Amino acid sequence: MAEMILVNAEDFETRVALIENGELAEVFIERDKEKSIVGNIYKGKVLRVLPGMQAAFVDIGLERSAFLYVAEVSQSIAGFFQDEMELDGMEQKDRKKTGEEQIQNLVREGQDILVQVLREPLGEKGAQLTTYITLPGYHLVYMPESRHMGVSRKIEDERERSRLKKLVDSVRGDSPGAFIIRTSSAQAREEAIRADGEYLLGKWKSLREKALNSSAPSLVFQEPELEFRVLREYFTADTKKIIIDNPDRMEGLKHFLRRTNPERENAAELWTGPEPLFDKFGIELELDRALDKRVWLKSGGFIVIDETEALTTIDVNTGKYVGKRDFEETIFKTNLEAAKEIVSQLRFRNVGGIIIIDFIDMSRIKNQQKITEALKAELSKDKAKSVVVRISEIGLTEMTRKRSSKSLPKKLCEPCPYCEGKGYLKNRRTIAYGIYRDLVKNRSELAGKAVRLYANPVVAELLMGEEKRLLDRLQEKHQVRVKVEIKDNFHQEQYEYYPLAAEEKA
């Protein structure tokens, strides 16, 4: 759990860092022009229903249509804005026979629908939606669609569970829906829990009213600022202090604490030191390191992280670590250290989706099991849901981690305009040979003419030096005389050529 929460708040960008055991565990960044939409609730309009994919595309007012899968459609909420859809006898018979809902029986094109964003648009994919609305508070989560109260498994004391259920049931009263009782409710004061529940019920009432009186597509509820979302999820009894460097946002933190944890209001502190907050605690340096592919382990080994569109691969290497006893022990210790660091990096970089880990091959089954157990133990500290599969016969560990937004590197960076995101370039010799072939291909138009070739400095120097034979061959074999000129502003793979006018040949 976070022992300290650091908030660097500017008008244009807010950054929140979680410190655990004296080290940076996670960082959250939100920019004024790139606000997260996860958790936002929209009144949307169904654009297309795709029975073959059991999904629908919904317009919620974004540049790209959002995606709604059949499993995320509640039958009652789908009819939120009009009478329930009348299903003919055949449709009802089919549903009863298969026991499965069909998307075409739940929504129709042109229908208004209340949806919440589960995942931001990523790459070419639109936002992912659900109609199972959840309104999270600090102590409780309100679910208008649910009929069953839930209690956090981490609250193990049966007497406390019973106390909380009775309290929350009295808060709900005759209101529809149900609450989930969060871990933070354990031993919390009755007044704080009751205030949280009433706040969520009031929020649902107001957003429902707004949804009914607005046209689609429109935003009917927006999640609060980043620091409040982080505090809602990570501020616990173990958190000693919250430090913020913006006096204008300090009162907001105080108000949040007064409403949720009145006895902890003094946990919020204003940073007034001469050094920037994130520099003081080494966060800026760690953010720079998060952009490196290679991460060194304390033993001298290292891991290499490669994030692609479809999945993330992590390779474990012994590096400088040579061990003290036998080879198997050296590998085991490197893998054990790597397992801990991998989870740390997944959290810090906010890596989600499919993850493939290539641990160093171990011959002992017992050691393989220990590495998997260590990986799972570290992941249990992570709030993001994950699933780990066993180490395969070829030493690969497959796992998934829930992804709701871009990873840190993708949030902070953009594809390199030089290599266009490929991560590599043609080398200068490949480019030089390509230029030669291009000129040969057009020899019929260029024969007997002088040609001026503009190229990047490293390519031009190669053609005029070590690979001058290419120019000589063009002149001797194809009667094409080439004059090379350096263009400092040319991309390494860029070149241009054209025949010289008569007066330029002289």
DSSP 3-69: SEEEEEE-SSEEEEEEEETTEEEEEEEEETTB---TT-EEEEEEEEEETTTTEEEEE-SSSS-EEEE
* pLDDT for res 100: 67
269-307, pLDDT tens digit by residue? 999 999 999 999 999 998 888 888 999 998 888 999 999
> Collapsing DSSP states into helix, strand and coil, what is residue 136?
strand
56-97, pLDDT tens digit by residue? 999 999 989 999 999 999 876 655 665 433 333 333 333 333
| pLDDT level of residue 324 (50, 70, 90 thresholds) | low
* pLDDT for res 82: 53
* pLDDT for res 87: 30
| pLDDT level of residue 115 (50, 70, 90 thresholds) | very high
Q: Which of 74-83, 178-187, 266-275, 338-347 has the lowest mean pLDDT?
A: 74-83
> Collapsing DSSP states into helix, strand and coil, what is residue 491?
coil
370-397, pLDDT tens digit by residue? 999 999 999 998 988 999 987 777 779 9
**Average pLDDT estimate for 174-182:** 89
Q: Which of 67-71, 119-123, 178-182, 433-437 has the lowest mean pLDDT?
A: 119-123
Q: Does domain 428-505 match CATH 3.40.1260.20?
A: yes
Task: Determine phi and psi for 294, rounding to 5 degrees.
Answer: -95, 130
* pLDDT for res 79: 56
Q: Is the peptide bond before 217 cis (omega within 30 degrees of 0)?
A: yes
Q: Options 3.30.70, 1.25.40, 3.30.230, 2.30.31; which CATH number does 135-221 get?
A: 3.30.230
* pLDDT for res 427: 94
**Average pLDDT estimate for 171-191:** 88
Contact 391, 397 (CB under 8 A): yes
Contact 217, 211 (CB under 8 A): no
Spell out the domain ranges in the chain: 4-36+239-248+259-284, 41-130, 135-221, 290-402, 428-505
In this structure, the strands spanning 268-270 and 41-50 are unpaired
Write down the CATH number for the domain with range 41-130. Answer: 2.40.50.140
Q: What is the mean pLDDT of the chain?
A: 88
